[in-house]
Structures are given as structure tokens and as C-alpha cells.
Structure 1
Amino acid sequence: MTELIDALRTAVSTGHAPAADIRLALAGTDDPALLRKAGRALAPLTDPAGELRPVRVSVVAGCTVGPYEALLRARLVGAGALPKITAAPYGAFELTLATGGFDAASDLIACVLDESWFLPPELDFAEPQSAADHLEDRLRQLRELVTAALSTTNAMLVLHTVPLPGHVRDTMVSLRARTALTRLWYRLNTGLLELAEEFDQVQVVDLVGLLGDAGVRARDERLHAYADLPYTDGALLLLADGVRRVAQARLGLSRKVLAIDLDNTLWGGVLGEVGAEGVALGGLYPGKSYQRLQRTVRALRDQGVILVLSSKNDPEPVEQALSDHPEVLLRPEVFSASMVNWDSKAGNLRRAADTLGLSAQSMVFMDDSAFERGEVAAQLPEVALVDASGEPAQLVTSLVRGGWFDVMELTGTDRRRPELYRARGLRKDFSGGFGSTEEYLSALDLKVVIELATPFGVARAAQLAARTNQFNLTGVRFDEVSTRAMLADPTRLVAVVSVADRFGDEGIVGAAWVERSADTWHVLNLVLSCRVLGRGVEFAVAGWLARQAERAGATRLTGAFVPSPKNSVAAGFWEKAGFEALGDGLFAFAPGRDPDPTPSWIPADDGPADQATTHELPAGG
């Protein structure tokens, strides 16, 4: 695809980020040769407009990595990131980790290992059990290196499972000995995977599993002998993809919405032609493949993915089929928005995004029609596309292999998200019967709880920092490690914001990170989910911070606004909250003297200073 490389080179030469459709094309290709060229072409990429999310990556390897840096760069740009990649010197794996000899400001430390780092120098092929102590010792040494490295950085360290080369295994002529060595190697990889459970800052890519699923050769013996390169380009691409998924989740670049077609996607056949009883669903092939896709989509929803039904059909027969067909696993109520009509699918996706209060960039669209996908690609190039045509047995793999919906950790709010967005649609319908915005907001029975973050809320606060773009005042994305450290720092404060109303509990929807001294409190960042914008919650947070600062004896509360291509909705917030503009994006408020910005429909009731604070409207408004 010379067109793709040419488009990337044009973007680099003109000083622009590649367009959304070009990035998605980059994300969708699995050709290592093409991605090597792409990664090299993207090396000087800049992004003055701030369309991409910056990410600093240190590559630390115990072996030769060949084109890994170029492959990783291509995959990260495809995910919407602007990578700055630095590689530690060859042969300095242990020294680099032990001494923190990598970029301390890194977001990710991507490690590359092969079997040579773990196997004893002289393996006794007749007695593989003799290698057990050596493997355990190397795993212990790696754990110590990880501990040392993480003591110097907030970065996420990414390891991977290591394949055992076939020639090592097959050199053992005893089948029993071969089985014993394989068992020891599985135990080693289990130990590697357990490091992700032991350390919050460690993720482990299962390279061994990926190689098996993809049917890719791990090693080219000639290249290994010639250049000491332990992995093929295909294997390195699988590893780069695994690291990309970690980066995507950590940076908040994952998608939230799956918009999905019905005919020949969620079931086989066209409903309008064969009727509900005639569609292929459940039973034997191909019906079992469509039901397997429905089961997978339901599992994604159970983990927080918002579902939108997008089908060119008459709504009544669709509603009846989804409600009555005994093999349907996705009933009408699981969809947070339903766009069943004869309008263009691009227009329907726009309306769904508006109803949900999300951007089209948060969407994945799965459809079997090349025409429909093409129309969406032309009008909404930021929407990720999944091809549902072809072999029905491949539908599930086509949907999940991209890792579009990955998160670092699943929170309670994630699991409730589909219902929260469904309630948003009901809330929008409810708003039509009131004469004024304030009358409507008063009738919502809003309950806003602002409280100091606890260790249980850290993951959600960090997730909001990573994924919130619209109401994100400074763009500083405090991760889980730095947020947790602030909880124990008397000069810092982290507050989380929960919202509920007559339509349901939204959970934790906002967070504020504050630096405080005796005289001045400074808001390092304030983020708020777009789900609750327009209800005055952000002004209640400003009021709570002002009152808490006053109780602590501070006479000044300051905040900043740093504009980005996506946070224009937050522009002017500080001024609207009564803060005075000081210049250079800084604003100030005098607690106790300036008027409290808390809206009238969210009465202030703080409770003890520095304790959980509730703003609650009495029942009935």
C-alpha cells in the first residue's frame, strides 16, 4: 500500500498528524513489511495541533530487537498516540533496569526478552529438572530488577511471556524429559504473568498465546544466526500490538461505543425478506456463529461497552424479533440507543453520538455491507470500522482482535456505563416538558457527592484523567500511581465527584487534583465526564473547593485552563464560576469573599472539613 506510506510521509513533511482515516488504516494492517516502512517514515512526526496523545516509551531489551521500534511506532500512531521512543544500549538490560538508566519521564517501559536470558548456560538435556533452580533464580532476579526500576518512575513496565524454541525442546530425546522441561517453562511464564498481579505498574503481554493464535513463527533461524535476532518481524509485530493495547488503555484512547448492524451481522439473513423465524441464529452453523457473536457483544456490554443498534429496517419487526426470538441474546433493553430506520447510517451514528453525549471518535461500527462502511468512513472517518462480511465463524475474532475497548482496570462505573447512557436518553426525553433549564434541573432531584478520594476510588479517578477530553481543564493526566501517592501527601488533595438523579446513579463522574499550602490552594486539574455536563456539577465542585479552602484557612483558590483541540466546552468555566482572570490561563478566587458558585438546585451541605461532602436537593426539587 504505497498510498498509505505516501500519506504518512506527506503528513510528516507538512507538520501535521496523519488524518483519522489514515491512522485507522495504519491500525488495520497486519503486514510487517509495510509497518516497518510506516514506522521509519513516522520517526520525525510532529503534532503542533495536538491531535495525538503524547507517549514516551523506553525500550529495554535483553536481546536484539531489529525492527521492533519502527513496528511499535507505527502501531502507536495508528492508535492515536504521538510516540517518543528511546532504546537502551544493547546488552545493558539488567544495568538499565537496576539503575533506572531509562527516561524517568517515560509512560511505558517496553521490555523485550528471549529464552537466552532464562536458560542455564549449559542445559543438561538428559536431566531437565536440573534447570528448575536456575529458572526460579532468574525469575527472582527479574522481580528484583522490576522492583528497582519501578522505584524510580511512575511508568508502566510491560513484560511478555517467552516462547521456548523448538530446537531446545526437540534436542531432548526422552519424551518424559521433554515434558518435564515444557512444564518448567510453563511455570516460568506463569511467574512472569503473576508479576502483573504483584505490581500495579506491570503489565504482561502473553506473546506465547498470541503466537499460537496467529500461527506466526517465533524465530527465523537464519536471521538468528546472522544477526542474533530471536524473533521474526511477525512475532515482533504481535508484541508491538500487545504494547499498543496497554498504551491505548493507559492513555484513554480506547473506544466506548459499539454500533452494530443486525442483518447478516447479529443474525444471518435479512429480516424483511425471511421474517424473524427465518433468520439464522443458534443451532447449527452458521446460526451458531451469529449467536456466538451476540454472546460476545453481551459480554462486552457487561464490561461497560455501550451498545447502539444500527439497522436499516422497520422498527416494529425488529423490536418483535429482538423481544420474541428464543435464540436472541441481545434484547431491546441492552441497547443504550436504537437507530432502526431507513436513514443513512452515518447520520444515525451522528444522532446516536449526540444522544449519548459522546464523540464519533469513541465509536466502533460493525456492519457486513461494504457500502454502509464506506459511507461511514467518508462522513465519519474517526469511527473505527469492523468488517462483518465473509466467514461467519470469524465474526467474533474480527470484533475483538483490535482491542478497541481495553481499559487498565474494570471499575464498578465501567460495568454500569451502558445503563447510565441509556438513562441519559430518558433524561433527554424528560427535559422536553419544562419551561426553563433551571426548572428541569430542579425536577431531576440531583444529588452530588464530593469527597476525598480513598484507595478504592483511585483507579476510577485515574481512568477519568486518562479518558476525559472535553471537560479537562489542564490536560494533566494523573495516573493511578501518582494519584495514590497524593492521598498520603498533606500538601495535595484528590477529590472525587459522584452524581445521582431520579433516573439513576451515575457513579464517580469527576475528579479534582489540588496542591495546597497555608494561604493558597491550586487546582492542578479538574475533569468531569461529559455525561453530566449541563447540570451545574462543575460549579458545585468549584464551590466545594472554595469552602474547603476557606475552612483550612486559605485565602486564595487558583485554577488554570490550558486549551486543547477537544476541551473547548470547558473554556470560560473559571470566569463563569466567579474567578478573576490573572493572565496566562490562570484564574483566582477569594474563598469566603467571592460569591459561592454552587447552583441553587444543588444546595451546599459540606459536613466536617476535609470529610465527605454532600450537595443534595430534597425530594421533589
Structure 2
Amino acid sequence: MKLGICGNTALENLADTLDKIYPGNDIITGSVDSFDVELSSPFGEFCDLDFCILSLDWERMYSPLFQYSYGDDPQKLKDGFSECVNFTKNLITKFRNTSNAKVLIFTPLSNNFLPTGFIDRLLPEPIQSQYNECHRIFDTMCRSLPDVYPVDLEFLSNRIGKLNTFDYDKKYLFNCPYSPLMLDEIALHIKSMISQFINYPVKCIVLDLDNTLWGGVVGETGPDQIILSDNGCGRAFKDFQAQIVRLYKQGIILAICSKNNTCDALEVMETNPHMLIRPSMISSFRINWDNKPQNLIQIAEELNIGLSSILFIDDSPSEREMVRNALPEIQILDLPYDPALYTDCLSKNHSYWPIEITTDDTAKNRYITSEKRRQQAAKIEKKIETYLRNSQITVTIAKANDTVLPRIVQLFNKTNQFNLTTRRYSQSALQKLLTNKENHLFYMDMKDKYGDYGTIAAALVLKDTIDSFILSCRAFGKSAEITFASFILSHLKAHGVKQIKAEFIPSGRNNMTKYFYRSIGFTLTESSPAGKLWTIDLQNEILNGPDWITIT
């Protein structure tokens, strides 16, 4: 991984700390206070970065924010800060013209002491309000740019305490305002952020029940005697559930894996007034006496996700160790012995941090519920084609726009099974490719009478070559990929393209797509261990999609 650091602080200090905490990377540092040149006209090794860390001391960037006092015009201060932020935005935009690196930028960090309650009552606007408004302006800038992510120094400072944040001697002597402890926190946070881009967040949290979601063993105490309430120890379990519900709302799938009596467990989940996690929120249940590794494999198969996409939460160290030894791909949250610390333990875990939250994420659990209804209906139907025709499947296929692009980026970076090349693209990289009018990015939405699937497919065509072709696992078994490919080929033919090439690159996880292009009329022209190249003559007849799918 190649990391570049530029800004207006002592860059070597941050580089040394980052190398200590996150070794094995190639770290390039710019010159202090030369970030404007390094971003607007990248040269040398700054042209080929994976991540660019913009280490800005905002007190040096815009000192009036930190000197605000009686008699100052608060609006003038905000206008001045906005100009400074726009200057930074323009630099990043210029940088983006030559680099696809993700940018991690330091947020403003408030002073050690704010005289709130004294001078504040004499000011037109409180000092803290000024900081909050400037943070909002800064955050708006980050949201407006693709692949720009804030490194929240205020959050990190609050975690270790303001008294432990600054080193004033080094600030004035070496332009290094942060203490060694704060530098460690910054480096750890950057490491966590980068790991999310490499590994992508977990998709599913699998939960134990007894002494995890509530206190006590329901099979021994009975449903009425478990520990779950608004007070005392019961509140610790309820707060823990509340944190999990927050993750559920941002699109994390929930599943249950518990050695228990099904009736007792479901009675608690359905009837206990303090229970926040209800059965309707659970996408897969394994409440039985089987070993948990086997149950986790079944959950992954049922939900069509990889084991590496699962975070397992269980209070029992022995159960965690069994899963860790049997299924090392699964991520495990090591809960502390004291339930009062459960919520804090989960909050500190970064494996579920979302890079983006799209409408597909927030509706994901609804999709899965709908899919269960589809599966139940499919079991009743003896012939799969009859079932599919009765499902009233409709698709919408179009070229990508700014609204759907974040979801398409997710498909590129999270889909492994039906992904012909598994090439990963950031939003800015796709936007840059689409500036060439000969390139096309298609996507497909799908729904049926059971519910809406959302955006389930994407294809990137670079001139006369299908560079990437992707289908979400939740659309498997419907032949929607044939409809999608047929539409794209017909569109290209209508625009004068006579022949199309398409690539297949094996990844170890996409073997199911090895002969997809052959199945839709392509001819193999090149083959090697590194991949296959297929071609199709568009002057010949193009295979139509199945008659049970309607394009709207």
C-alpha cells in the first residue's frame, strides 16, 4: 500500500508513528506547507498513491476561528472559514484530475480550553457554536467530493482527553501540535479506515442469546426471569441491544445462533417489553443444540454471503474459541466478562463501519425478508419457470447517474461470485472513465410482486470491451444477467458497434461465471491461466433474455 502525507504540520512525525503502528506500507512524505503544490500539480511518487493523507492544522489554516472574541463578527468569521475550505476543495479537485487515490483529511480541532459560560454569554454567538458551524461547513465539503473522508480529530481528542492531546513545545518549535499519544490515536484511526477499504465492512452480525442479549439462561430461569430492564444490570443488556439496532438500521444483517430451546428463546424475543431486537429483524435463525461452526456455515449459505462477511458475538470464550479455530475467516467480537462493557466493546469495533450508506443498505433487511417469501413461494411451485413467470419480475436498465453511482461502487467492491473480472473501482475512478464518451456504465434495478431488489447489476464497457460485468447474489437464479447482457449488446449494436470483446479473470471466488460469456453467444478467442478473452459479432442475432422478465 502506497500512502502519501502532505500538509502544514510536521509530516515526518506522523509518518514515523504510522509506520510503527501500521508497518509494511510505502509512506511518502511531502514538504511542510507545500501541500498546495503537491495537490494541484502532483509529481513524482505523489502521482501513484493509494491513499493521500492531508494533515492540516486548521489553526494555521485559518487562525481567526481560534481567536474569536468579543466584538468579532461571527458571520465574517464563517465566511472566511468557508473561503479557506473552498481553497482546500479546489486543491483536492485538481489532485483528483490526475490521481484516483482516496483522500483522508484532518478535521478542525478545537482549543484546549473554551471559556464557555463566561465570555460566551457576552458574544453574539457562543464559541462552541462557531466551531460546530465550521465543522458543518468542512463536512459539507467532504461530502461533496468523491472518495474524500474526514479523519475526525475532535472525536479522537475527546477519547483521550484534551489535556492529553497537544504538545505545545513541539507545536511552536517543529509545527507538530499533537502529543505522542494523540499521534498514536491518529495513526490507529487511519489504519482502521484503510482496512475498511481493503476488507470492506461486515455484512452480518450473528448473535448468541443467553448472557449476550439478556442476562441469565432462559432455559433455566424461564422467560419471565431473565435480566433485561431499564435499570441496573438489565439496562446494560438493553443498551447493548440498542447499539445493535443502530447497526441494523444502517443495513447490517442480523442472525441468531444460540444453543437453546426455540420456544423459550422466541417467547422472550416476541413478548418481553424491554426486548429491542424482535424476530422480524432476524434474517436467519439457528436455535438448536448443534455445534456453532456448523450453524454459522448454514447461516452463510442461507444468506448467500461469505464467512468473512460475518461478525460473531457470543459471551462464551469457549464457543468463540471453537469458532475461531474451525472458521478463521469469521470475525469475532471478544466480549468482556462484565456486561456493562458490552456496548463500549462493540462501539470500538470498526469492522462494521460503512464506507457509504445507500438506500440499498437501509433496505437490505427488507430485501432479505422479501427473498424468504420468494423462497417459500418457490417451494410450492413444482416448476421453477412457472414460479418465475408468476413472480412478475420487472427490470429497469439505464446508464449510471450520480444518484446510483455510490451503490454501483459497492457492487464493484463487494461482489465476488458473479463478477467476471473482480476489478475494483472507486467512485472517482469511474467518474474519470466516464468523461470519455466512448465508455459506458450500465446498471439494472429489479423488483417483483414480493418486493424491490434495488440495484442488482452493473457493467462497465470501455470502448469495445466489457471490462466488468457484475450481478448481486440476491438476484441469482432468475436469469436476470441474460436480460442485462442482451440489453447492453443491443444498445451497443444500435449505436454502430460491430464487435464486442469481454474479459474473464479468475479470482478463486468467481468460478461460477467462467463460461457465462459462452452461454450468451460469445466465442473464446484467447485463453491463459490469467484469464479468457471472448468476442461476439453483433451483426449476428443477439440472444434474448427470458420471457419471464419485463424491461420497463
Q: TM-score range by the shorter chain?
A: 0.7 to 0.9
Following superposition, the deviation at residue 253 of structure 1 comes to 0.9
Following superposition, the deviation at residue 543 of structure 1 comes to 1.5
Question: What does residue 407 of structure 2 align with?
Answer: 460
Question: What does residue 481 of structure 2 align with?
Answer: 538
- Secondary structure, in 3 states, of the residue corresponding to 1:336? strand
Compute the TM-score of the two structures, normalised by the length of structure 2: 0.86
Following superposition, the deviation at residue 403 of structure 1 comes to 2.8
- Secondary structure, in 3 states, of the residue corresponding to 2:416? coil
Deviation digits for residues 553-604 of structure 1 (CA, Å, limit 9, x no counterpart) = 22212211122233223222222222111115211112251551634544xx
Residues 1:345 and 2:345 are matched in the alignment: no
Residues 1:529 and 2:475 are matched in the alignment: no
- Secondary structure, in 3 states, of the residue corresponding to 2:88? helix
Letter in 1 for 2:265: V
Question: What does residue 88 of structure 1 align with?
Answer: 30
Moved more, 574-583 or 533-542: 533-542
C-alpha distance 556-387 of structure 1, shift in aligned 2 (>3 A): same
C-alpha distance 113-340 of structure 1, shift in aligned 2 (>3 A): same
Q: 1:407 aligns with which of 347, 354, 364?
A: 354
C-alpha distance 146-567 of structure 1, shift in aligned 2 (>3 A): same
Q: 1:202 aligns with which of 119, 139, 148?
A: 148
Moved more, 150-159 or 573-582: 150-159
Question: What does residue 68 of structure 1 align with?
Answer: 14
C-alpha distance 380-158 of structure 1, shift in aligned 2 (>3 A): same
Following superposition, the deviation at residue 214 of structure 1 comes to 4.1
C-alpha distance 449-182 of structure 1, shift in aligned 2 (>3 A): closer
C-alpha distance 283-130 of structure 1, shift in aligned 2 (>3 A): closer
Following superposition, the deviation at residue 539 of structure 1 comes to 2.1
Following superposition, the deviation at residue 119 of structure 1 comes to 5.9
Q: 1:565 aligns with which of 503, 508, 522?
A: 508
Question: What does residue 314 of structure 1 align with?
Answer: 261
Structure 2 distance, partners of 1:124, 1:234, is 26
Structure 1 distance, partners of 2:284, 2:205, is 11
Question: What does residue 110 of structure 1 align with?
Answer: 53
Letter in 1 for 2:257: S
Residues 1:551 and 2:498 are matched in the alignment: no
Residues 1:146 and 2:89 are matched in the alignment: yes
Contact 1:550 1:591 in 2 (8 A): yes
Q: 2:158 aligns with which of 198, 201, 212?
A: 212
Following superposition, the deviation at residue 355 of structure 1 comes to 0.3
Contact 1:539 1:599 in 2 (8 A): yes
Deviation digits for residues 146-202 of structure 1 (CA, Å, limit 9, x no counterpart) = 312322324432222233453x869xx988899976665555444433322443443
Contact 1:578 1:597 in 2 (8 A): no
Question: What does residue 247 of structure 2 align with?
Answer: 300
Question: What does residue 280 of structure 1 align with?
Answer: 227
Structural mapping, 1:220-235, within 5 Å: 220-221=167-168, 228-235=175-182
Structure 1: give runs of 5+ residues left out of the alignment. Answer: 1-54, 606-612, 615-621
Moved more, 496-505 or 313-322: 496-505
Contact 1:355 1:425 in 2 (8 A): no
Letter in 2 for 1:503: Y
Structure 1 distance, partners of 2:16, 2:457, is 37
- Secondary structure, in 3 states, of the residue corresponding to 2:256? strand
Structure 1 distance, partners of 2:399, 2:68, is 59
C-alpha distance 218-566 of structure 1, shift in aligned 2 (>3 A): farther
Structural mapping, 1:43-192, within 5 Å: 56-66=2-12, 68-69=14-15, 72=18, 84-101=26-43, 103-114=46-57, 117-118=60-61, 120=63, 129=72, 137=80, 140-153=83-96, 154-166=100-112, 184-192=130-138
Structure 2 distance, partners of 1:262, 1:594, is 57
Residues 1:500 and 2:442 are matched in the alignment: no
Structure 2: give runs of 5+ residues left out of the alignment. Answer: none
Structure 2 distance, partners of 1:212, 1:592, is 65
Q: 2:534 aligns with which of 551, 570, 587?
A: 587
- Secondary structure, in 3 states, of the residue corresponding to 1:286? helix
Contact 1:473 1:525 in 2 (8 A): yes
Structural mapping, 1:32-43, within 5 Å: none
Residues 1:291 and 2:238 are matched in the alignment: yes
- Secondary structure, in 3 states, of the residue corresponding to 1:151? helix
Question: What does residue 545 of structure 2 align with?
Answer: 598
Contact 1:411 1:460 in 2 (8 A): yes
Percent of paired sites with the same residue: 23
Structure 2 distance, partners of 1:232, 1:129, is 31
C-alpha distance 389-355 of structure 1, shift in aligned 2 (>3 A): same
Q: 1:392 aligns with which of 319, 328, 339?
A: 339
C-alpha distance 547-94 of structure 1, shift in aligned 2 (>3 A): closer
Structure 2 distance, partners of 1:73, 1:487, is 36
Following superposition, the deviation at residue 132 of structure 1 comes to 9.4
Contact 1:97 1:145 in 2 (8 A): no
- Secondary structure, in 3 states, of the residue corresponding to 1:152? helix
Letter in 2 for 1:407: P
- Secondary structure, in 3 states, of the residue corresponding to 2:404? helix
- Secondary structure, in 3 states, of the residue corresponding to 1:459? helix
Letter in 1 for 2:42: G
Letter in 2 for 1:89: S
Following superposition, the deviation at residue 243 of structure 1 comes to 3.5
Contact 2:269 2:279 in 1 (8 A): yes
